[in-house]
Amino acid sequence: MIRSVNFGDAQQILNIYNYYVINTDVTFDLTPMSLKAFQEKMHSITKGYPFIVYEEDNEILGYAYAGKFRERPAYNATLESTVYVKHNQHGKKIGSLLYAELISQLKQTDCRVVLGVLTLPNDASVKLHEKFGFEKVGHLKEVGFKFNTWLDVGIFELKLV
């Protein structure tokens, strides 16, 4: 089931996210986020943007949300999307289901452009974004440093209007 997030989901979502912080380079956070910091982030996002979860048997298996791309007001119609699936649940199309719902919700808002900002290489995430019509519009080389490696970032754009 896909539904809107509630604050009781915070710990399960944080567990999904922190796995990626500790074990992968798909996020540029270097240390696990605290529950309090994550709850504050959730509160900030849900004040104005969609934040959804995929739940099965009372377990959160993935989540997606959109938030501000940048703070300056001229960017208000441009949002950045995020999707994470629990590390042991890949291959079940959870990410696709979440993204389809997120994009559907964003089409009901004033959002004009959605950006996916991805660590590269990341074939699975690139394929997910391309499946939904995102086009690669930028490639930033060696802009992040994690696990003693310089990492690239791709910027993928989906125009909703």
Share of the chain above pLDDT 90, in %: 96
CA within 13 Å, CB half, 54: 22
CB 68 within 8 A of CB 75: yes
Q: How many CB atoms lie within 10 A of CB 28?
A: 14
Classify residue 109 by burial, with Cβ atoms within 10 Å: 0-12, 13-18, 19+: middle
Instruction: Report pTM.
Output: 0.95
The residue-averaged pLDDT of 19-48 equals 96
CATH of 2-159, one of 3.40.50.2300, 3.40.630.30, 3.40.50.10320, 2.30.30.830: 3.40.630.30
Say yes or no to pLDDT of 4 above 90. yes
User: What confidence score (pLDDT) does residue 32 get?
Assistant: 97
Q: Report CA torsion sign: 74, 76, 79, 80.
A: positive
DSSP state of 26: S
Q: Distance (Å, rounded) from C-alpha 140 to C-alpha 151?
A: 9
Strand 2-4: give its sheet, edge to edge.
2-4, 51-56, 59-68, 78-85, 113-120, 149-159, 135-146
Q: Give the mean pLDDT of 58-75.
A: 95
Domain boundaries, the chain: 2-159
Q: What is the pLDDT of residue 161?
A: 85
CA 79 from centroid of its chain's CA atoms: 11
